[in-house]
Amino acid sequence: MADAGGPATIKAFEERLLEVSESLPKRLRQCADYVAANKDRIAVSTVAEMAEGAGVQPSAFMRFCQIMGFSGFSEMQRLFRETFVGGWPDYSTRLHHLREKAEDSPTALLAEFVEAGRASLESLLKTVDPHHLEAAVATLSKANMIHIIGLRRSFPVASYMSYAFEKMDVPAMLHSAVGRLDNRNAIRDGDVVLAITFSPYSVETIELVEAVSARGIPVVALTDTVVSPLRKFDAITLSVSEVDFGAFRSLSATLCLAITLSVAVGTARSG
């Protein structure tokens, strides 16, 4: 018990957390992880709440506090309560502050993108047609193989879905057009193409869709507006209007739709 008082600052707390978290049994590690990801909650929660969040018993959480060097939860909580008096206003005031006060600092920029992302997410629920979404899920669920194509700015979305499908044992293939290779011969009857493209639309993607569409292969499209060139082919279209800030588009809403599709298809298949 050389450690009379636990960490006295948040920084010391984090160091101790890191140092300790290497060698921790299962439950206590859960505590460490949850705490690391939710430091702000400590100040305003009860042990019971923290324990539930971490998925452990209150007593386990207590033990964790002691390992961190505190006498108990209360003492740990005190550290966080004290350091954050004078602390944080709510989201909107904070945002306002950042925008005005810290003009053209990276943090102000972050605030702008966060706001753009939020706006995009909000409009997502409005722009996505539930029937189209259901149709897309149904089509993808029946596919023997899902061929994902998305290049340039859409590539992150395509690779994301590819990863998600793999994790859920949904047969999917990412067409990356590396070295101008064009694997369209891999696409066979019973397969489905999932095309992702946003303005300015990659010709490769459009060409691929055109080709397979002519062969009667179903196409599900993730695109932006109603004027997307993919509309011409009878694809099931899900449109996302992303609020962009400057020339750059944060893909918040698009990825949100992507994960939804992935999970929906994954469960539909296994169910």
Partner DNA sequence: TATAAAATGGAATTTATAGTCCATTATGGT
Partner DNA sequence: ACCATAATGGACTATAAATTCCATTTTATA
In the window 67-126, what residues touch DNA (CB under 7 A)? 71-75, 77
Phi-psi region of 139 (alpha: psi -120 to 50; beta: other; left: phi over 0): alpha
Residue 125 contact partner, candidates DNA, a second copy, none, CB within 5 to 8 A by sort of partner: a second copy
DSSP character at residue 229: G
Residue 190 contact partner, candidates a second copy, DNA, none, CB within 5 to 8 A by sort of partner: none
Residue 140 contact partner, candidates DNA, a second copy, none, CB within 5 to 8 A by sort of partner: none
In the complex with a second copy, which residue's Cβ is closer, 59 or 225?
A: 225
Collapse the DSSP code of 46 into the 3-class scheme (helix H, G, I; strand E, B; otherwise coil) and give the result: coil
**Euclidean distance between the first and final Cα of the chain, in Å?**
54
The least CB distance from residue 39 to DNA, in Å, is 16
Residue 57 contact partner, candidates a second copy, DNA, none, CB within 5 to 8 A by sort of partner: DNA
Span 4-63, contacts to DNA by CB under 7 A: 25-28, 46-48, 56-60, 62-63
In the complex with a second copy, which residue's Cβ is closer, 8 or 110?
A: 110
A 10 A CB-CB count for 66 gives 15
Span 228-257, contacts to DNA by CB under 7 A: none
In the complex with DNA, which residue's Cβ is closer, 58 or 229?
A: 58
The least CB distance from residue 12 to DNA, in Å, is 19
Q: Rounded to the nearest 10 degrees, how much is the dihedral formed by the CA atoms of 81, 87, 92, 95?
A: -130
Under the criterion CB under 7 A, does residue 140 sit at the interface with DNA? no
Residue 58 contact partner, candidates a second copy, DNA, none, CB within 5 to 8 A by sort of partner: DNA
In the complex with DNA, which residue's Cβ is closer, 74 or 105?
A: 74
